Every structure is written in C-alpha cells, then in structure tokens.
A = this chain, B = another copy of it.
C-alpha cells in the first residue's frame, strides 16, 4: 500500500479508514465464535467420462453404514481448520483433493481435470447420522486417464456405470443400483447442468484427448446428449470455432477404418480466472 501524501480531504478519509480498521482488528482479536450447532459440509463428485461412446459416471461402493453395500458418489468432508488462523481449504480445492484421493490420480493429473460446481444439497435427513450439507461438483475425465484410476482410501471398490442405464428408473431398480443418500437426485442435477453447459461453453474438449478428430468430438457430444448428430452439420458448426480461435489444426493425421482424419487441438483460453 502506498503512503498517500496528506492532502486535507484525503487525509481525513484515510484516518477514518484506519480508525475503522483498528476497531475491526480489536473486534476480531476479542471475537470468540458462538457455540451454535454447525452442519458437516462435504463435497460430492459426479465424475463423468465417455467409454464405448456412452456417457459413464464413477461410483464407489460403500463399505460402511449407512447404506453399506450400496453404490454412491465419491466425496468427503471439506477441511475446515480451527477458525482462528488457518480456516482450511477452499471448496474447489476440497473437490480436487477428493477427486485425487478417490481416484488415485496424481496431483498434477487431477489438477488438470475440469471441475464445475453444480448445486448445494442440504435437506435435513439426507444423511441419517447427522446434518450434512453437500456441495456437488461434476468432473470431466478424459478417457485416456481412465485406465489409471484405482479406487483409493476407504472405499472397497469403484466402478464406471453407463449413465443412461443408471438414470432409467426401470433398469435402476432391476440392476440393484439404487444409489445411497440422495445421490440419484444429485446425479440428475449434474447431468442437467453438464448438458446445459455443453452448448454454452467449451466443456466438450475436456472429454477428448489432447489432439482429436472431429468425429471423436462428435462422439462425445452424442454421448452427452444421448442422440446422434448429423456429421456434416456438426463439422460446419465446429469449423466455425476455428475462426473464433477456440481450436486450431494440429500436426498429423489419425488413421481410421477408412480415410485418415485431420486432428485438432483445443486452444486453452488465457486463464482469465473467474
């Protein structure tokens, strides 16, 4: 902070601000948090990927009560700290950490994974043990990383599930995959938000390798929307985004069952932080 030369008006203003800050510092010094009950806060992750041209979600089998044996979304408690001094970790950081812990991915790898907040769920009784408020995120994991995912920590098993099957109420019951807690609701909300984000933002590129062909990108869009798209029209819409500087042609060709396809690269936006 610059020490302002004391012009009369400005000086008065500065003194007032210093006064206020002094007051506040004294207040905080003496402040002791009350003993009102507080909720536990968790992050729950809806981790998506595309396998076999179908949208999949990562679930973990619960090894403990409640809902022991049921499939659930990975997640865990937000680190909070002790109020004074360190206040703990940010929500986004908690989501990243949980992703890392539950998938076994390395820190640098999991930090490159796209994460977006969905909504916060806090109905009383959603966890029978105690009041738990859960901030839901969805994550997009490139299929190339999937083989490196192993369930870690306190979950006995993690598995990818076809989202279409999981969301269909009939096969949900038949397959015995009724999710724990209110996780079916959270999954629905995450799916809706992700689909809405698909044609507003650039999230499609998060599910495709570093360089990709148009048809690979189209396969991702088809998996997310759950319906086929016209190859020609998709290509045109896509090529427009070259002019917008969103993507650029990359070197090389990708061999296919027929004619080799051109590959492209997503141009990461210059990190404006928002």
Contacts and interface: CB of A to CB of B under 8 A. Distances in A.
B87 A131 contact: yes
Task: Bin chain A's interface residue count.
Answer: 35 or more
Contacts of A38: 38-41, 80
A3 interface: no
Contacts of A124: 81, 86-90
Interface in A81-111: 81-84, 86-91
| A interface majority secondary structure | loop
Interface in A223-246: none
A273 to B, nearest CB: 12
A23 B133 contact: no
A175 interface: no
Among A20, A37, A68, A82, which residue has the most Cβ atoms of chain B within 10 A? A37
Given A37-B83, A78-B133, A133-B135, 15 more contacts: A24-B65, A24-B67, A28-B65, A28-B128, A37-B81, A38-B40, A38-B41, A38-B80, A39-B78, A81-B131, A83-B130, A83-B131, A87-B124, A117-B119, A133-B133
14 contacts: A20-B69, A23-B65, A24-B66, A28-B66, A37-B80, A38-B40, A38-B80, A41-B133, A78-B133, A81-B124, A83-B130, A87-B130, A89-B124, A91-B123
